[in-house]
Structure 1
Amino acid sequence: MEIHGIFLICSLFLALGAGVDGSPMNDLISKLPGQPDVNFRQFAGYIDVDDGAAGVSFFYYFVEAENDSMNQPLTVWLTGGPGCSAVGDSFSSAGPFITTKNARGLNRNLFSWNKVSNLLFIDSPIGAGWSYSNASGPYKNGDDSTKKLLVSFMQNWYEKYPNFKSKDLYVAGSSYAGHFVPNLASGLLDDNKQSKELKFNVKGIVLGNPMLRKKLDILARYEFFYSLGLVDSVVYEKVKKECTAIDENNYSSKFQANWSSGCQMFMDSDSFIFYNSIFDPGYASAKLFDAVRDPCVVNFTDLSLGNELTKVSKGVDMCTLMRADFYFNIPEVQKAFHGNRINSRLPWKGCNTANFPFNYDDKNRDMLPVLKSLLQQSIPITIMSGDVDGAVPAVGTLKHLYKLAEEMNIKSTKEEVWSHENKEGGKKYAFGDLLTFLTVIEANHHVAFSKPSEALYLFTNFAVNRKH
């Protein structure tokens, strides 16, 4: 009778599309095209996050930890833009695979964060990656709406994966995820307060080159490129003279009218000023994200013919991002991922930032109050910034954190060198017990992409294991 009962229970779970461990077997990825054999499972699919007229659905990619997944934490990964796909980002950052040089297959990422954590990549806001809305007209994205939808996503995702409800939860991401990550963590904590039981066991957030105060982050570019000799003293002094309407002490997202015309010109055309000898705007913009490496020249025609696309610069294959774009457009890949549910004929793009619908004022929001609130709730914050990133330079982020520490009366700050594999990795700044800032030598705007070994080390030791 016992055996017969167990068989009936298992049959019921399978009939409902769930495995005996509660995992949704309909979302199980049997194997991605060109994927090597692995000892962990992958899932992908959609979570409906708005049952109203908008009909919003976010796409996700879930990767179990390599070993003992039920005793490992869960890390949510978001990415920036706004308009970039976190799922696509996983193939050049913290995920388990990177594309082969011909973009037809996959290699193992030896420094995937699933060595120490389960990973959940979420395409957001609406319109990023394979996430979509059924509402007519353009999407209305912003910080607050994205936060609300992501909280709903997590509530519904836990219903689909009940065994992960009690796991330690980390929220991580890079670039404009400097808004998305703190906002989501804050929203999850607020949701906990409305419940008698702990829903979200938030243990920390991890940010990579985060945009926290956009206008000051852009001004910091001039200081960064001046230090590299890419901006002459005349331009640098003009910037300092023209852009005096705002500083760390009076930051506001709503003083647009106070910019002088000269300062606005610098804000709008910085990449061309930094590389005024370069006449290719795309090249100049790409150099913002990596000041020392040459960007990849996109040539999908070569990939279509079965040729390889690669450009190794200072130890980094700069074409990895471009190859992921090609891979995700292969019909067999989309089918294996259970993606593109609405059968869009538009090409899949890892970053769809041009004219992406997003509230302009939200981009200029000051994120220090949200970070302050998280610290006051004893949520550790770990920030890693590549020191050759010109998009969100480390020098600007460090100023923001000094300002935050001052506001919170955190005086126990210290600076020291951190090392990895017997080499200097960068500088470490500790602000009290909960806030840690780490620079990464020769890492660009995407630390996990340009310095994957160091990124995994920092995530493991300063976030998951809280090494001080």
Structure 2
Amino acid sequence: MMLNSRSYVNEMCLCVLLLLALSGIGVTNSQSIVTTLPGFDGELPFKLETGYIGIGDTDDVQLFYYFIESERDPVTDPLMLWLTGGPGCSGLSALVYEIGPLAFDVEAWNGSLPTLVVNKYSWTRVANIIFIDQPVGTGYSYATTESGKNTSDTKAVAQAYSFLRKWLTSHPQFQANPLYIGGDSYSGFTLPLLVQTILDGIEAGNEPDMGLQGYILGNPVTDSFVDDNSRIPYVHRVNLISDELYERAKLFCNGDYINIDFNNSLCVTSLDAIKQCLLQINLVHILEPQCAFAAPRRKEIEWDLRVREAEEMEYLLSQNKLPKLTCRSFGYMLSHKWANDDAVKAALYVREGTLESSWMRCLKSLPFYTEEISSTIAYHQNFTRTGLRALIYSGDHDISVPYIGTLSWVNNLKVPIFDQWRPWYVDGQIAGYLQKYTNDNFRLTYVTLKGAGHTAPEYKHKESMNMVERWFAYYPI
């Protein structure tokens, strides 16, 4: 049959579009299986998938993710979407430093491409986990338009929900798995809103179906006042300030160390004395060294952990040889060396030209991001009527989000205590302490990890893996 020129062009366009779709070129969603990685010896002993999912009417936001199937039974084990904190910390951070199956061999680094080893206490031994780079601009995620770069707490949550729906649609084999949402640190602000959004979507009949069972939060920022105000009682409890200093501050500041009346000289003087005791303390783990070589001696406490790390990274990355003092941030530097390597980006199927600047584990700031949430206690209160399960855990050596502040708001949910404060064990040793709460519609387990800091699994891999394995299995921790 003869075709006129317009029909011929239309037919050719359709063929080209079909070929593009089949080849993956120009498609806003993509996924690829990664079997080997630069720096890792041999094939990966687990199934790793990376990809992008487009968000928005024009898919102008492209969220990058790492998905690792459960190494035990991916068909029946839980599926968990993990939100790394920040805002602006890459999902790769949680994958290699906290709960994933890989870790950098810090001691073996000789200046070349960092090497990777297996973390035998990975949470992927008992769960399928999606690590996502969000909000947009984090890690390898990017926007194709200027407007797409603008985001906020609520926009990031809406985009994470859209991501999860699209991901489940393209992975229907996981739609029947029990679904959990997990995260730590700043995710304490965004994760509860995402859980509520999922609940609302289930009630509205949104597709695909989501079998949401509960959520996990570690060292979570939850209420700006409760968390921050608990720091002074915490540092007194762990003997970083004297009884006298604490009693003076409590008396003169009337127990409020945040909303300070600067005309109250006695309160101001007391808090300044406390500040001098804390300036050289590591805020994420009180027993670990402060990397004093990374910056001049501080005159003020920098509570923004992203700023502190960025200053250390600038110093470490500028050095031609290893510093004499090895601290935790040295290990963070290796992720910058590794993730910015062209061979690594090619192996992960990162799209060329989409990274505007160097990859960073945690961005110092997100210029297009608006922080809107100051408390999520009301969301947790609502969850006590939903039938969900919750696991809240804290590293008990963290000043930035002290466990006593977290325990305070947990207790104020007014859910009856089912299991009183007691130790829990790993290999016959006390791994921390726990308290369980339950009513007819909600079960919450609060756990401390003894000796851990902020992002607790990073410090206690074995203990945290035991904790989450028991919790997922409904087995007593």
Same fold at TM > 0.5? yes
Q: CA deviation at 1:98?
A: 0.6
Distance 1:388 1:277, change over 3 A: closer
Whether the 8 Å CA contact 2:240–2:277 is kept in 1: the answer is no
Measured in 1, the distance between the counterparts of 2:253 and 2:464 equals: 34
Whether the 8 Å CA contact 1:387–1:442 is kept in 2: the answer is yes
Whether the 8 Å CA contact 1:79–1:89 is kept in 2: the answer is yes
* Corresponding position of 2:304: none
Letter in 2 for 1:349: M
Q: CA deviation at 1:370?
A: 1.0
Distance 1:196 1:344, change over 3 A: closer
Q: What stretches of structure 1 of length at least 5 have no aligned partner?
A: 1-11, 19-23, 248-255
Whether the 8 Å CA contact 1:311–1:318 is kept in 2: the answer is no
RMSD over aligned CA atoms reads 3.5
1:75 pairs with 70, 80, 100, which one?
80
Letter in 2 for 1:226: H
Deviations 1:229-282 (A, max 9, x none): 3234455345435655979xxxxxxxx9x6534799999x98x96662687xxx
Measured in 1, the distance between the counterparts of 2:130 and 2:437 equals: 29
Distance 1:262 1:397, change over 3 A: farther
2:96 pairs with 66, 91, 99, which one?
91
1:455 pairs with 417, 439, 464, which one?
464
Whether the 8 Å CA contact 2:229–2:256 is kept in 1: the answer is no
Q: CA deviation at 1:39?
A: 3.3
Q: What stretches of structure 2 of length at least 5 have no aligned partner?
A: 1-17, 295-311
Q: CA deviation at 1:465?
A: 3.2
* Corresponding position of 1:168: 178
Whether the 8 Å CA contact 2:417–2:436 is kept in 1: the answer is no
Measured in 1, the distance between the counterparts of 2:336 and 2:402 equals: 26
Distance 1:266 1:47, change over 3 A: farther
* Corresponding position of 2:361: 350
Is 1:359 aligned with 2:370?
Answer: yes
Report which of the two structures shows the higher radius of gyration computed on alpha carbons. Answer: 2
Is 1:202 aligned with 2:193?
Answer: no
Distance 1:154 1:227, change over 3 A: same
Whether the 8 Å CA contact 1:133–1:139 is kept in 2: the answer is yes
1:425 pairs with 407, 431, 437, which one?
431
* Secondary structure, counterpart of 1:376 in structure 2: coil
Q: CA deviation at 1:295?
A: 4.6
* Secondary structure, counterpart of 1:28 in structure 2: strand
* TM-score, with length taken from structure 2: 0.79
Measured in 1, the distance between the counterparts of 2:96 and 2:166 equals: 25
Is 1:65 aligned with 2:104?
Answer: no
Matches within 5 A, 1:29-428: 29-36=34-41, 37-52=43-58, 55-101=60-106, 102=109, 104-136=114-146, 139-195=149-205, 199-233=209-243, 235-237=245-247, 239-241=249-251, 244=254, 260-261=261-262, 276=276, 287-295=282-290, 319-339=330-350, 341-354=352-365, 356-362=367-373, 364-365=374-375, 367-405=376-414, 408=415, 410-412=416-418, 414-428=420-434
Q: CA deviation at 1:416?
A: 1.1
* Secondary structure, counterpart of 1:404 in structure 2: coil
Measured in 2, the distance between the counterparts of 1:372 and 1:261 equals: 34
Measured in 2, the distance between the counterparts of 1:194 and 1:355 equals: 33
Measured in 1, the distance between the counterparts of 2:369 and 2:420 equals: 38
Whether the 8 Å CA contact 1:295–1:318 is kept in 2: the answer is no
* Secondary structure, counterpart of 1:66 in structure 2: coil
* Secondary structure, counterpart of 1:351 in structure 2: coil
Whether the 8 Å CA contact 1:143–1:180 is kept in 2: the answer is yes
Whether the 8 Å CA contact 1:98–1:108 is kept in 2: the answer is yes
* Secondary structure, counterpart of 2:97 in structure 1: coil
Measured in 2, the distance between the counterparts of 1:264 and 1:185 equals: 44
Measured in 2, the distance between the counterparts of 1:199 and 1:259 equals: 48
Distance 1:274 1:432, change over 3 A: same
Deviations 1:174-223 (A, max 9, x none): 11111222222221121111117761111121111111112221111111
Q: CA deviation at 1:417?
A: 1.0
